Amino acid sequence: MRVAICTDIHGNRHAFEAVIAAAEADGAEELWCLGDLVGYGAEPDACVALAERHCAICLAGNHDLAVVEVLSLEEFSRGAAIAAQWTQDTISQQTREFLLSLQPKGEGLGIGLFHASPRDPVWEYVLSGLTAELCFDATDFRVSLIGHSHVALSFHRPEGQPASGTTRREGTELNLSTGEWLVNPGSTGQPRDGDPRAAWLLLDTDAKTAVYRRSEYDIAGAQAAIRAARLPDSLAERLQYGQ
């Protein structure tokens, strides 16, 4: 099966729509989201509606959990807390109920799915080989998909060897057939790896491959929505730099 993987949408409808269209054009049969549908961006209801319509699997991210008051806003940075509070005050009851129905971890076709990491599905950033080692030891899944860091990357642990990893650029293809893997598609709605285009991953579960994708989207439109909502301007500004 060909599955499109996205994560960290963060209320960016323009980016989410671009990825959904690109995934369909690329022959994806399903769409899985690893969480954070809301937070930072200004169109949370639209993003949740898109997820309800298009996602076969959807996880909860830490921002989703904060917006429905499962997590305290005291655990967030100032900008994130302001955006989460605004989102709390703005979303519809239907959006709230959908977010409350989600969990931060799951499974699909024998693949582990975690918003953040297998050790801590809500909060842990997997950005080093040491953290990856600990995560591999914490799960029985040979291949796991993760999000949260907003950086497209992967870690691989061949049998009998230590884990190693690197950031990934558009077009990179991974052979997932051997060893253990942690694979992060990068952020759809707020990339932080220097590439402002919406990030996602095309997974082929039969061929055991994964290809990193990027999609152009209307960044100016997403910025205008953030500014119209009077959210911190830094949340709009960073989108054009992928930071």
What digits encode the pLDDT tens for the residues 137-169?
999 999 999 999 999 999 999 999 999 999 999
Residue 88: phi and psi, rounded to 5, are -55, -45
Domain total for the chain? Answer: 1
What DSSP character marks residue 75? G
> What is the value of pTM for the model shown?
0.97
What range does the domain containing 121 cover? 2-240
pLDDT of residue 102: 98
Q: CA nearest 57: which of 12, 127, 1? A: 1
pLDDT in tens, 163-200: 999 999 999 999 999 999 999 999 999 999 999 999 99
pLDDT in tens, 126-138: 999 999 999 999 9
pLDDT in tens, 201-216: 999 999 999 999 999 9
The CATH number for 175's domain is: 3.60.21.10
pLDDT of residue 140: 97
Read off the tokens for 187.
């952020």
Confidence of residue 93 (pLDDT cuts 50, 70, 90): very high
pLDDT of residue 164: 96
For the chain, give the number of residues: 243
